[in-house]
Structure 1
């Protein structure tokens, strides 16, 4: 069985939606507004986001985007830096990886 739907509570829907579309290629499914959005990836995963207050994810909670190569991880990292996002360089950990706090308040890992 494949996981095909995830819902995130976010502090600000539009910037979170834009971030995921810009850097990870998610597509807007429509039907949203300033308080909710519905995105889909190339494999059919639907990611919904709803505006919330007092959001508190556990410290280790994150979503991840696994890339095919270290070069792809480096490219996403460089694009984020060029766009003014405060992101650390990738490092060798459990893979070639970096984490970034997305607009809306959730943590994203990019790795290969």
Structure 2
């Protein structure tokens, strides 16, 4: 059995949607105004975004986007920097990884 769906409550659905489309290749299947969007990846994973006024995730909560290799991690890191995001360079920790705060108030990890 695989987990194939996750719902995130976010403060800004359009900004979170644009972020996921621009930097992680997700596609919006449907949306309802500024309050709801259904995002899909190439493997059929369904990520729904729902608007909330106050969003509080635990400090260590994050959504991960594993990559094939370090070059891909570096490319995404650079793309995010060019887009104005405050990202530190990837490091060798539990994996080759970095974190970024996404629009909508959730954290994303990019790793290989």
**What TM-score bracket applies, with the shorter chain setting the length?**
over 0.9
Q: Which secondary structure state, in structure 1, belongs to the residue aligned with residue 100 of structure 2? A: strand
Using the alignment, how far apart are the partners of 1:86 and 1:32 within structure 2?
30
Map of 2:56 onto structure 1: 56
Give TM-score scaled by structure 1 length: 0.97
Map of 1:110 onto structure 2: 110
Using the alignment, how far apart are the partners of 1:82 and 1:37 within structure 2?
26
Which structure 1 segments of 5+ residues have no match?
none
Using the alignment, how far apart are the partners of 1:32 and 1:26 within structure 2?
17
Q: Which secondary structure state, in structure 2, belongs to the residue aligned with residue 30 of structure 1? A: strand
Q: Aligned ranges for residues 1-112 of structure 1 at < 5 Å?
A: 1-112=1-112
| Per-residue deviation, 1:33 | 1.9
Q: Could you tell which deviates more after superposition, 84-93 or 27-36? A: 27-36
Number of corresponding residues: 112
Which structure 2 segments of 5+ residues have no match?
none
Alignment root-mean-square deviation, CA: 0.7
| More strand as a share of residues | 2
Q: Deviations over 1:18-47 (max 9, x none)?
A: 000111110110143201111000110100
Using the alignment, how far apart are the partners of 1:31 and 1:66 within structure 2?
26
Using the alignment, how far apart are the partners of 1:107 and 1:55 within structure 2?
12
Give TM-score scaled by structure 2 length: 0.97
In the TM superposition, structure 1's runs of 4+ consecutive aligned residues that sit over 3 Å from their partners are none
| Per-residue deviation, 1:76 | 0.2
